[in-house]
Structure 1
């Protein structure tokens, strides 16, 4: 039976020590740059070296997150940074950016690469795609079930890593632009502002509340993941690594969660048939931090059971309700559900006014002051604010639990025992052999020749005193064997020198087992520079116009209005009529007659359980006169290759193409048209060497913000809860999520019951169409899947007119102001220029 590693988070060195000391097999950390937790403490080079040595001496692996998108201007520094990590001997890099991964493999092929969860690998095809790029491990998407994970494990030799505890993103990671588009803080750059944790109201197409049910206001805020009770089922999937989330968490959190998972996993290893989780472990996990708990998607889609609608932050542990308020509102009587102590932090969920926190400094029972009180006792405690009888009280800080956690990293105990064997005979050198617990040895023979002692001859106590001076190292003296002539003199300086020498030898050997083969810096940079084209290609050309549509009428409108290419979406939004195969055939034939290319867009997501439906879709589309497929993830590319698709393949936004090398990777995979990331600005695009193939940019329409396995409509309106099925309230209706600023984020649900969230403000780059042409962009796209046929017609006509004028250098003759006013009449929330001018770096 294979027992997976426990992989712990660390945002600073104290958290790192906490992880190691409490039993982590591996720790993942971020540097000061290129990390998807930009606001964690993170590690500079010296701290990184210190952490790697601390871990490796104790047999613990270190993985470093380099898991953000990297633009062309950062690649050189990224290579230099990765070379530093290589020299430090880090055990693996967690990577999101395809281009950076390609470069690293070319210049440092021995470096172990792990595919970040930001890569959205959620099927065997995606795993095989990155395996072909020589990744060693994949961090699977959080949305997978145990059955999905087991299936992917059967289909690839990649190591699999999954999240098992901590905060959950509501969106598929790497596919969320919500923080980016709202406030410029990109999750793909490690700066997510978590707007999903804010308050929202579910509204209908008229902007009115869609339900009267009082479930809470945090409609996109998931509970925290907790899988302690299903560890056996997880282990049986074949995963190699159990990842604990929390690089933004304090060391006490890391210490507590790692300790509990370590002890539970060890029990399972020792006696899998009788594995149980004890109540105290669950209480401590709840106490250290929780938004309430969930198994996520591991046991299936649980609907509203996934969500923390009422509260987006730590709940703590409920200790009871206020029975009585005394002493002019300064004391409250509570019958305790859980024990409390002086120094604990409590929080009252008051009937009005939110929540009030305070520290316990008085506990009174039957007139006596207590230091602590047990569950079941009725006590009076100090309070603050204006609570009422019946208000709930929660413990958010357990002083004893925190003290236990702090002791684990402030006073580390994970040391390496060393056995010393010292020989000292008159007239001969001192000889020491030191052996650690793994058998690593250090030998030392002194230049000093042993003499007879004049005053204080050496004995076991004096020798042990010197050899035991190992403070500040990872070692301790476990055993001492002496072979001494009687009455010899052994100077302390000689013993100290011998001790340092043998310990350094053992330390060196223990660290060498993690080292990569040395590679000179010059060789690395020479290889890197050979990957860079000598000259940027000139790309001034006429641009095509693409339009994504969702209906037969919309498709014909786009063709009539002058589109060069239409995308037929494989994701059928339930608010719209479904595109049938007959309709797609009609569109394909009609478009071909008009000289317009027809492309089918595969669904953005397909789990292993949906594979057969996906391949049937590919086969059926292949029977139509359709020129190409548009794919939104690496699994889609691989699926087309493995299905024998012999026509063109285009890539969509989900591939997050952010630099030249990502383009090169996709071109080597046979991709004919590549859509650039929505988070690139004009200045970045201008510096890119776009190469010979086609490049597309979005210029107008509804911008996708999220793809969610969770559906707010099904959970809130459709009764989706636990194993209860959804009543499908999305059929033929439109909904949105209204925020505190009264902006409504449109919501669409596809045929797989996945929720797509859109930006309230639509993208419009009409006045800047000529800029795209100047940059050599081959294709400009309108996202019109959610548009009516009349809107598709009008928008396409306007962009056709402007693109033609720009291609002929006649933009100055257009009445752009009037054309923009016409477009503005089609949207309620107004327009945005996205990131084309502001960017995310």
Structure 2
């Protein structure tokens, strides 16, 4: 980064929270922007990052136009996606490629598991809802029709997804959007032509397009059910775009005022645009022995800017018609002018402190601390799991999914007295649901307090959830859940300034975890189905239509016969897709001993009997092997 910074780098888009401190202290003049991989969905989350030094956020693609406007109204700089491929999962919340193929979408290595065909079943094998279809393959986003509304909303920057695309794609798509942005700014309205829609559809885009989530929360119309394939760009169109935008470089106009007089230095005043100018002095002009350089001669020599970014639209020369300047000197003057212009245009940054990385590492290592003996944790999502869990005493901390609080009866509440009770917040917390979540929690926490149950803390797995808790429930301990992407000692240190403890990411392997420092503040999941996706689109709605009373588990089956369960959250309108096998480290507790402050059972789709069997098998040591190790041994790309 250092050479880029010194050359005038404007900003860095980051996902890793640890980089906020490292980069802001090492490169103080560069702007830090929060990546869409941070999964920011609420103004609370955005403002929290702003307070931490994030200048601009790139929110989740799933937000609506009104939600983008709400972020702007809250005082945030916002950059939003307007065109290109869309993930089925909320960005930063997808582990499907990671777990199924060992390549992490969170690291830009997605293997495209959402572009494969799946069959959809209801409750396992009982009923097939869709057969061999591209159920989770999103159509590409095209928001040409919405550009005016986005401009009116005050969006600071428009983002065109172009990773691994050709220069012709980038140039062609950008040119079309530039056209309609300019039309709207000039006229206040525009109508997208049929020809432009056809052209943009021919620029390496999926066979179908949609407007994304700007005006639609979800729906079958957003899914390319029949085929996920791309329409390739034709050779003729590629050549046309290359000739227009790539081969013919865009140049900036400059003017030159030249003064050449005997026994004085040649002086050239260069003007670039309205606000930038520079004064250049060359060598002393000599008395011509034969023929003096005419005004035309000087203009001809200085006009040859060739393959540079500059176009001299005006060259004015004042001379005494006695001066002589060698051609080589004029050429050197022209080259020096180009260098000086570049230095002026690029604000060179010299104030770097690369040593800060090592200083920070030393400070972090001084905080190193070991965990005590194993402490066990049980997390539950339904009442059956809770009933089974309350039959065992080998754990002390119990984490309740917030949406089962309303289902607790007096008998279950009385059994909570002997546990340290925590609440887990949902992984998706958008502005349009924050009020609902707060009202719901206020009521349920009050009911528990009336029954003598004290909530000790809240598990938060996102920036939005942390910001929400700090704003509305500052009296509670905050514990970081698996959704916080902690992948090195720097992010670990930074996150532990935000929360009291955190749960290790599913993408960490044991070798990497040995190099972390705060073992007394770190928990790990030793049993549970890994969350592969959190999605705004709904499998049920795509296959059968919306049904808020639907309580069954859906299963995606791939071409290898693996079945991935999915739970539907009707309260907040999102799906969670889980791995086909649970991850288990239950037989590795001796290896994990002393390295984690808590070992967690994370129950999700299990019923009462399944939960009881898992806990019983652990307590007796009779653990079966129908599990996966996840990334515990192999790691991830």
- Tell me if structure 1 keeps the 8 A contact 2:519–2:597: no
Cα-to-partner distance string for 1:181-215 (whole Å, 9 max, x where unaligned)? 11111112221101110010111224255236x8x
Q: Which residue number corresponds to residue 567 of structure 1?
A: 399
Q: Which residue number corresponds to residue 721 of structure 1?
A: none
The Cα shift of 1:436 comes to 2.1
User: Pairwise mapping of residues 146-185 of structure 1 onto structure 2 (< 5 A)?
Assistant: 146-155=65-74, 157-185=75-103
Q: 2:526 aligns with which of 683, 699, 706?
A: 699
Q: 2:254 aligns with which of 410, 413, 418?
A: 418
Say if 2:9 is the partner of 1:90.
Answer: yes
Counterparts in 2 of 1:397 and 1:526: CA distance versus 1, 3 Å: closer
The Cα shift of 1:765 comes to 1.4
The Cα shift of 1:582 comes to 5.8
Cα-to-partner distance string for 1:140-188 (whole Å, 9 max, x where unaligned)? 0011011111112222x33101100000000011111101111111112
Counterparts in 2 of 1:757 and 1:473: CA distance versus 1, 3 Å: same
Counterparts in 2 of 1:459 and 1:306: CA distance versus 1, 3 Å: same
The Cα shift of 1:517 comes to 4.9
- Tell me if structure 2 keeps the 8 A contact 1:433–1:502: no
Counterparts in 2 of 1:836 and 1:504: CA distance versus 1, 3 Å: same
Q: 2:349 aligns with which of 516, 532, 543?
A: 516
Unaligned runs of at least 5 residues, structure 2: none
Q: Which residue number corresponds to residue 375 of structure 1?
A: none
In 1, the alpha carbon distance for the partners of 2:124 and 2:407 equals 33
The Cα shift of 1:637 comes to 1.2
Q: Which residue number corresponds to residue 51 of structure 2?
A: 132
- Tell me if structure 1 keeps the 8 A contact 2:138–2:222: yes
Q: 1:554 aligns with which of 385, 389, 395?
A: 385
In 1, the alpha carbon distance for the partners of 2:283 and 2:424 equals 77
Cα-to-partner distance string for 1:319-353 (whole Å, 9 max, x where unaligned)? xxxxxxxxxxxxxxxxxxxxxxxxxxxxxxxxxxx
In 2, the alpha carbon distance for the partners of 1:795 and 1:616 equals 35
Q: Which residue number corresponds to residue 64 of structure 1?
A: none
TM-score (norm. length: structure 2): 0.94
**Greater length-normalized contact order (CA 8 Å, ≥ 6 residues apart):** 2
The Cα shift of 1:580 comes to 5.2
- Tell me if structure 1 keeps the 8 A contact 2:169–2:204: yes
- Tell me if structure 2 keeps the 8 A contact 1:547–1:796: no
- Tell me if structure 2 keeps the 8 A contact 1:588–1:598: no
Name the SS for the 2:527 alignment partner: strand
Say if 2:241 is the partner of 1:405.
Answer: yes
The 10-residue stretch of structure 1 (190-199 or 200-209) with the greater mean CA deviation from structure 2: 200-209
- Tell me if structure 2 keeps the 8 A contact 1:568–1:601: yes
User: Pairwise mapping of residues 300-699 of structure 1 onto structure 2 (< 5 A)?
Assistant: 300-314=216-230, 316=231, 396-454=232-290, 456-486=291-321, 488-512=323-347, 515-522=348-355, 524-525=356-357, 527-534=359-366, 536-539=368-371, 541-562=372-393, 563-571=395-403, 579=404, 581=406, 583=408, 586-592=411-417, 595-623=418-446, 624=448, 625=453, 626-669=455-498, 671-690=499-518, 692-693=520-521, 695-699=522-526
Counterparts in 2 of 1:453 and 1:282: CA distance versus 1, 3 Å: farther
In 2, the alpha carbon distance for the partners of 1:598 and 1:431 equals 78
Name the SS for the 1:232 alignment partner: helix
- Tell me if structure 2 keeps the 8 A contact 1:448–1:494: no
Say if 2:588 is the partner of 1:755.
Answer: no
Q: Please, what is the CA RMSD of the aligned residues?
A: 2.2
In 1, the alpha carbon distance for the partners of 2:54 and 2:566 equals 36
In 2, the alpha carbon distance for the partners of 1:475 and 1:526 equals 42
Name the SS for the 1:169 alignment partner: coil
The Cα shift of 1:294 comes to 0.9
- Tell me if structure 2 keeps the 8 A contact 1:549–1:786: no
User: Pairwise mapping of residues 9-158 of structure 1 onto structure 2 (< 5 A)?
Assistant: 82-155=1-74, 157-158=75-76
Name the SS for the 2:248 alignment partner: coil
Cα-to-partner distance string for 1:331-390 (whole Å, 9 max, x where unaligned)? xxxxxxxxxxxxxxxxxxxxxxxxxxxxxxxxxxxxxxxxxxxxxxxxxxxxxxxxxxxx
Counterparts in 2 of 1:598 and 1:477: CA distance versus 1, 3 Å: same
User: Pairwise mapping of residues 815-826 of structure 1 onto structure 2 (< 5 A)?
Assistant: 816=621, 819-821=622-624
In 2, the alpha carbon distance for the partners of 1:649 and 1:508 equals 48
Counterparts in 2 of 1:585 and 1:89: CA distance versus 1, 3 Å: farther
**Number of residue pairs aligned between Structure 1 and Structure 2:** 628
Name the SS for the 2:311 alignment partner: strand
Counterparts in 2 of 1:535 and 1:145: CA distance versus 1, 3 Å: closer
In 2, the alpha carbon distance for the partners of 1:84 and 1:422 equals 34
User: Pairwise mapping of residues 783-822 of structure 1 onto structure 2 (< 5 A)?
Assistant: 783-801=602-620, 816=621, 819-821=622-624
Name the SS for the 2:128 alignment partner: coil
- Tell me if structure 2 keeps the 8 A contact 1:256–1:285: yes
Counterparts in 2 of 1:86 and 1:691: CA distance versus 1, 3 Å: farther
Unaligned runs of at least 5 residues, structure 1: 1-81, 317-395, 572-578, 719-725, 802-815, 825-829
- Tell me if structure 2 keeps the 8 A contact 1:545–1:800: no
The 10-residue stretch of structure 1 (641-650 or 253-262) with the greater mean CA deviation from structure 2: 641-650
Name the SS for the 1:434 alignment partner: strand
- Tell me if structure 2 keeps the 8 A contact 1:138–1:161: yes
Q: Which residue number corresponds to residue 717 of structure 1?
A: 544
In 1, the alpha carbon distance for the partners of 2:126 and 2:388 equals 32
Counterparts in 2 of 1:208 and 1:464: CA distance versus 1, 3 Å: farther
In 1, the alpha carbon distance for the partners of 2:170 and 2:260 equals 47
- Tell me if structure 1 keeps the 8 A contact 2:285–2:325: no
In 1, the alpha carbon distance for the partners of 2:337 and 2:308 equals 13
Counterparts in 2 of 1:88 and 1:502: CA distance versus 1, 3 Å: closer
Say if 2:155 is the partner of 1:239.
Answer: yes
The Cα shift of 1:737 comes to 0.8
In 1, the alpha carbon distance for the partners of 2:165 and 2:341 equals 34
- Tell me if structure 2 keeps the 8 A contact 1:166–1:225: yes
Q: Which residue number corresponds to residue 831 of structure 1?
A: 627
